[in-house]
Every structure is written in C-alpha cells, then in structure tokens.
C-alpha cells in the first residue's frame, strides 16, 4: 500500500537530519503524505450524484450532456477541454460547458449561475461537478484539439492574454509563470508557457486547497490569479478565461492530469 | 445502477445495530474530556488526562513532515509494536489548546493510526502512549509551519 | 444532513487497512467572520470504528483535528466481505454512520 510505503520511507529517513535539508524536499514530502485521502474525493462523489440526479426546472439529469466526446461520455473529456462545440458554436471550457448543459438540459439560468459568487448557490454544485468530471480523466494526458480555426484562434488569443501586462503592478500571467525556477515564498511557480510536467500547473486544477478546505475549479483559480495581479475580476467562464485555458492546455499537451489534486 | 454515494448511505437501522453489539472500550462510554481538550501546554494536558510523566521511547514510532506548507492540514501517524498500549494522544505543544485527539485501541486493531491535525505555528508535536499498566511513553517531532505563498 | 464519508477498506495480509475521509467543517471557534464575529466551534467529538458490528477503535477529537479529516488504521483478523462501520458525533449533537465492505 502506497501510504504504508511512504510512512516506511519516512521512518527510515527519520534519523538526524542533515544541516541543510532542502525545503523543496520537505514540501514534497508533505505533499506526498497528503496524496492519499484527498478530500477532493468527497466532491467527486457528490459530483457523480449530481450528474445523475434529475434537477432544475426541467427535472432532468446531466447524463445527456456532451462534454466533447459525445453525450454522456465523461471519461477522457476533461483532457480535451477547452474545445469547440457545434451546438453553441463556441470554444468552451469545462465550467462553460457545464453551464450550457445545465441550462439546455435542466433549465437552469446559466447567466445567474455565472453571476453567483464562488462557494454559494449552484456554484457549490459546479465545484462537485468539475471534481467528478476531472477525476474521470485522472492519469490521462492532455490533448486539446486544435483542428478547427476557432480553436487555433482561441489559442492565439490566450497567448496574448497570458502575456498582456496591465493593472497597477504592470503584471501579466507571464510575470509569475513565464520562467523556470521562480517561487513565491515556498510555492514553486510552474512555467506555463511550456509543458511544466505531469500533474503540474494546468494539469493540477481543479484542486482541493487545504488552506481553506475548498475545492477550486480552473475558473476560480484564474479569478484568484486576476485578484493577485490586482486586475478587475474576469467574467465567469468568459472568452478571456477560456482562451487562457486553451493556451495553457495546448502548451501542456502530453502532461498527465492529476486533477482534482491537493494544494496548499 | 447505484452511485458510490448511494452505496455509502446506510439507514439508522445500522446505527441502532451498533448500539448493543460487542464490548465497548471504556472511553466510548465516557463523556468528552473537556478539561483535557481545553488545557494549554503538555503538562496541563497530561494532568487532565490523569497520567504520569511520560518517558521518551524509540518504541513509539511517530511520523510527521519536517515542514508543513499549511498548518491547516498536517499529516501525522503513530505506530508501535509494544504490547499493552491502550491509548495514544496527540499533543501540539504551541496550539491554543494542546490536545488534538486521543485514540483508544482494542486488541482487534494494530496499535497505530494516521490522522491530520491543525497547527497554529511551528511546534513540537507529541504522540503520548498510555499503557494498560499505567506506564506512559512518548515520541516527539518538531514540525515547521509556514503559511506558504500565493501560488497553487 | 452531512455528506457521506468515503471509506476504503482493503485486505492486507490477515488484516485490512481502513482509510476514512469525513466531510466536516471542524471549526475551531477561533476564527472570525467578515463582520468580525467569532464563528463558534463546531467539530467532531467522538469517532468509533467497528468490524462486523464490534467496536475496534474509538477516539475523542478536539478542534485541532483538520477539516475534512482523513484517518487510517489497520484491523487485525479481517477478510474480504467483512463490514467496517464508522460513526461520529459532533458538539452540536449531530451524528453520522457510514459503512463499507472490506475488499
């Protein structure tokens, strides 16, 4: 069992520590200890129930929702998002697509959900749904389609949004995520202009954040990045955020998804 | 087809079945130890638990990370091959209230448990083992706690 | 009504490793809300684990057990098909019991 092996390794290493144990190693050890028993599993279970439960004004489930691989196909869908959808004629990410399905199939008001603050109302259910959908692709490798002109265009838009400097600090996403070896306090900042590796960066969200005990989807993660840069908040599931997802997802091609993962 | 969630749901009937079955360890029948859980400092907790001064022991194998990225969740584990250990208490010396939890072991489980605690700041964390004959042993480790930065 | 626990119990040798993830706020009573008002303590106080109806492990918890707590222990003399039942009680008097079959 992995947990026992990890505990065994820790016991073996529990002798007098060398004077300069790498902090990065310490953090890696801490994260490894948390890998088993990720509270995100509670959201995954809830999300599976919500997917199958008839809800909303139309009293329908989400089982006919097309996440890109056909109606109701959940496994493998996450690692191909964002992508273009014929029924909406738009490139959409997971949250955007859930809104479309919740409106079309269940009768919910997508705009109202988009305007609902994180952690409230239907946003709580979206947390569970993104955990469920992403979990079904755990271990699979990102392979966003770029076969359509619209998808390639969104990639280019995303690249520009990623590098666009603005706000009172003149930051862009690239300010923190454009180079190898950068760090804020103890968190290594992955370089998102390339594939940062399995389960890192784009491949690590949605994630359970231990600091708040909350499950954050990519939309919430991006929202918080904007806040940290002192930008105005982006629209929920707006084209700008979807474009960023296309850019990061295409750059992360081949990386294994570990979502939903566990984070500080 | 049942979802995992449905399979995990059980009716009150199961809870009722538990009520009269088996021999309950003494602790399960006693009230929550308010005095111990409100005590500050290792001495205060041990006094409230009514146990003798503990002796450090290599036989209590205590695992905790050197550094916790966030004090909200710190994974710790204890195990021991020593016979006769009835209870193990986890203490976080510098927490506002030092006692995190007390586990009581029957002969039907291995004497060991892994759990996750909260730590307010860098502190010694102790696993205190209380044996049936009154002996008290412990192991401890200092866990550094940092808040961490803004990133994922 | 609290969310179900996630219990995984797997045979290992002559026993079984049990891993439990509980859904609970585990509020310390030290935090303040946006208005500056202290959020009252709300936490699990007692946990019991039973194998085929017989209690094998119990615990008393304080506020310093983490939110959405994860617990792991090993039962002796257990086999596939045996039932693990985990129960908790919190300081509001709320209770929860969930069951899993050892795989």
Nearest by CB: C17 against A1, A210, A213: A1
Q: What is the mean pLDDT of residues C6-13?
A: 96
A67 Cβ partners below 8 Å, 6+ apart?
A: A73, A74, A77, A78, A81, A94, A97, A133
Whether residue A1 has pLDDT greater than 70: no
Question: Is residue C1 assigned to a domain?
Answer: no
Residue C31 gets which letter from DSSP?
Answer: -
The pLDDT of residue C2: 83
| Mean predicted lDDT score pLDDT of chain C | 95
Question: Is residue B27 assigned to a domain?
Answer: no
Whether residue B15 has pLDDT greater than 60: no
Whether residue A190 has pLDDT greater than 50: yes
Question: Is residue B10 assigned to a domain?
Answer: no
SS3 content of chain C, % helix, strand, coil (to 5): 0, 55, 45
Q: Which residues of A touch B72 (CB under 8 A)?
A: 210-213
Q: What is the mean pLDDT of residues C32-49?
A: 93
The pLDDT of residue B31: 85
Whether residue B4 lies within 8 A of chain A, CB to CB, comes out as yes
The pLDDT of residue A24: 79
Question: Is residue C58 assigned to a domain?
Answer: yes
A13-27, A37-51, A247-261, C13-27: segment of lowest average pLDDT:
A13-27
User: Tell me, what CATH number does B121's domain have?
Assistant: 2.60.40.2470
| Percent residues over pLDDT 70 in chain B | 77
Strand B55-56 relative to strand B136-145, pairing: parallel
Q: Which residues of C touch B32 (CB under 8 A)?
A: 45-46, 60, 91
Cα A234 from chain centre: 16
Whether residue C40 lies within 8 A of chain B, CB to CB, comes out as no
Distance (Å) from the alpha carbon of C60 to chain B's nearest alpha carbon: 5
Note the pLDDT tens digit of each residue in A54-69.
999 999 999 999 999 9
User: Tell me, what CATH number does C69's domain have?
Assistant: 2.60.40.10
Tell me whether residues A228 and B73 touch, CB distance under 8 A: no
Question: E strand or H helix at A89, and its extent?
Answer: none
Nearest by CB: B151 against A21, A29, A184: A184
How many contacts, defined by CB atoms under 8 Å, are there between A and C? 34
Distance (Å) from the alpha carbon of A2 to chain C's nearest alpha carbon: 11
User: Above 0.90 for ipTM, yes or no?
Assistant: yes
- Topology, domain A40-263: Cytochrome Bc1 Complex; Chain D, domain 2 (1.10.760)
Tell me whether residues B3 and A3 touch, CB distance under 8 A: no
Whether residue B8 lies within 8 A of chain A, CB to CB, comes out as yes
Residue C77 gets which letter from DSSP?
Answer: S
Domain count, chain C: 1
Could you give the dihedral angle defined by the CA atoms of residues A12, A17, A22 and A26, in that order, rounded to the nearest 10 degrees?
50
Tell me whether residues C73 and B109 touch, CB distance under 8 A: yes
Q: What is the DSSP string of A158-218?
A: HHHHHH--BTTTTB-HHHHHSSTTEEETTEEE--TTS---TTSGGGG-SEEETTTTEEE-H
Report domain extents, chain A.
2-35, 40-263
Domain count, chain B: 1
Note the pLDDT tens digit of each residue in B91-107.
999 999 999 999 999 99
């Amino acid at each position: 069992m992995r947990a026992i092996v990890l505990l065994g390794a820790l016991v073996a290493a529990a002798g007098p520590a060398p004077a300069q144990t790498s902090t990065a190693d310490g953090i890696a050890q801490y994260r490894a200890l948390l890998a088993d028993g990720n509270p995100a599993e509670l959201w995954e279970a809830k999300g599976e129930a919500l997917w199958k439960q008839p809800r909303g004004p139309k009293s329908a489930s989400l089982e006919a929702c097309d996440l890109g691989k056909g109606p109701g196909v959940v496994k493998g869908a996450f690692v191909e998002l964002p992508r273009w959808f014929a029924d909406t004629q738009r490139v959409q990410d997971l949250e955007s697509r859930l809104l479309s399905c919740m409106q079309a199939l269940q009768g919910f008001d997508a705009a109202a959900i988009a305007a609902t603050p994180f952690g409230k109302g239907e946003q709580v259910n979206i947390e569970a749904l993104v955990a469920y959908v992403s979990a079904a692709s755990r271990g699979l490798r990102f392979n966003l389609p770029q076969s359509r002109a619209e998808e390639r265009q969104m990639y280019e838009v995303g690249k520009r949004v990623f590098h666009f400097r603005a706000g009172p600090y003149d930051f862009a996403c690239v300010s923190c995520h454009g180079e190898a070896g950068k760090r804020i306090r103890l968190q290594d900042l992955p370089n998102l202009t390339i594939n940062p590796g399995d389960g890192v960066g784009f491949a690590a969200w949605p994630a359970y954040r231990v600091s708040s005990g909350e499950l954050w989807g990519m939309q919430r993660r991006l929202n918080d990045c904007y806040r940290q840069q002192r930008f105005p908040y982006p629209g929920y599931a707006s084209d700008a955020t979807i474009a960023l997802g296309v850019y990061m997802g295409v750059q992360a091609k081949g990386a294994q998804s570990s979502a939903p993962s566990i984070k500080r | 087809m049942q979802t995992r969630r449905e399979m995990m749901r059980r009716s009150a009937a199961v809870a009722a079945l538990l009520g009269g079955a088996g021999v309950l360890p003494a602790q399960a029948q006693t009230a929550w130890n308010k005095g111990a859980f409100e005590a500050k400092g290792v001495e205060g907790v041990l006094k409230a638990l009514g146990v003798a001064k503990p002796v450090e022991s290599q036989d209590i194998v205590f695992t905790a990370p050197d550094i916790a990225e966030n004090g909200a969740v710190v994974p710790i584990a204890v195990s021991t091959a020593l016979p006769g250990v009835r209870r193990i208490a986890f203490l976080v010396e510098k927490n506002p209230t030092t006692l995190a939890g007390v586990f009581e072991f029957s002969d039907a489980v291995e004497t060991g448990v892994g759990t996750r605690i909260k730590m307010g700041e860098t502190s010694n964390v102790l696993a205190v083992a209380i044996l049936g004959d009154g002996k008290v042993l412990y192991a401890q480790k200092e866990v550094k706690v940092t808040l961490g930065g803004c990133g994922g | 009504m609290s969310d179900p626990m996630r219990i995984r119990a797997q045979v290992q040798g002559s026993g079984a490793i049990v891993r439990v993830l509980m859904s609970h706020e585990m509020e310390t009573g030290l935090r303040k809300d946006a208005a500056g008002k202290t959020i009252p303590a709300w936490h699990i106080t007692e946990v019991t684990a039973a194998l085929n109806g017989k209690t094998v492990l119990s615990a008393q918890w304080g506020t310093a057990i983490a939110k959405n707590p994860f617990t792991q222990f090993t039962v002796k003399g257990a086999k596939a098909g045996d039932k693990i039942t985990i129960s908790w009680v919190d300081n509001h008097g709320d209770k929860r019991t969930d069951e899993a079959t050892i795989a």
